Amino acid sequence: MIRVNNFTKTYNGFAAVRNLTFRVEPGEILGLVGPNGAGKTTLMRVLSGIIPPSSGTLSVAGHDIVCDPIKAKQALGYIPDDPRLFDTLTVWEHLEFIAAAYGVVNYKPAAETLLKFFNLDGKRNHVVQTLSRGMRQKVAIACAYLHRPKVILFDEPLTGLDPAGIRSIKESMQEQAAQGAAVIISSHLLELVESLCTHLLILHQGQCQRFGRMADVLQAFDEVKENTKLEDVFFSITHADNPEPG
């Protein structure tokens, strides 16, 4: 569902991401982790078509993001770390706008279900500039789900959410994957990534350090320490003096 082959992105000669290759299949949830400046947000923005790759190929649901950007974006839902909503539109008007933009017919039942699931039903007629940071985040996620994307990208999705909100978002991610979506979650919350994700990609200085099934990556470190946690793997890799790409 997501294919990235030999992807590189440079800015004025600096490689933010170098020679990155990986894939995410339907139903898989990939955890994308790395220190600040590792290239995570650059990868998300290129996959979503916001900025172009310098080299390599990236495809979403079989559509190349450079050669067929409209089809790729139609299959994609992207929730950035700071979603840009329309401050003067209500919650319901956001859903109406997304339905029109993606050509979603008979969208109202799905929109109503999303409002109830994210506990936004009582805020449907509120303009979003009056909402809390957490509620705005839930509006952005509801909008991203409305057209039933085959690929969903989350960049720090739990910012500003209370415990109930965190629980509902996690449940929704698992439900989307169970329905066949390919999901990428970029987050510094390593416990969230370990508990939720089926696969793992660790970026450091723009390069892939580990990629594979979560259980396999953790098991590879069990020779050093039993019951290895993702936090142990993360710091072992990113704090090494000369990390080896892998």
Per residue of the chain (246 residues), what is the pLDDT tens digit? 999 999 999 999 899 999 999 999 999 999 999 999 999 999 999 999 999 999 999 999 999 999 999 999 999 999 998 888 999 999 999 999 999 999 999 999 999 999 999 999 999 999 999 999 899 999 999 999 999 999 999 999 888 788 988 999 999 999 999 999 999 999 999 999 999 999 999 999 999 999 999 999 888 876 655 667 899 889 988 875 444 444
Tokens standing for residue 135: 């509620």
CATH superfamily, region 23-75+150-246: P-loop containing nucleotide triphosphate hydrolases (3.40.50.300)
Tokens standing for residue 87: 């401050």
Q: Where are the beta strands (DSSP E) in the chain?
A: 2-11, 14-24, 29-33, 55-60, 63-64, 76-79, 151-155, 182-186, 199-204, 207-213
100 φ/ψ angles, rounded to the nearest 5 degrees: -70, -40
Domain residue extents for the chain: 23-75+150-246, 84-148
- Whole-number Å distance between alpha carbons of 138 and 235: 31
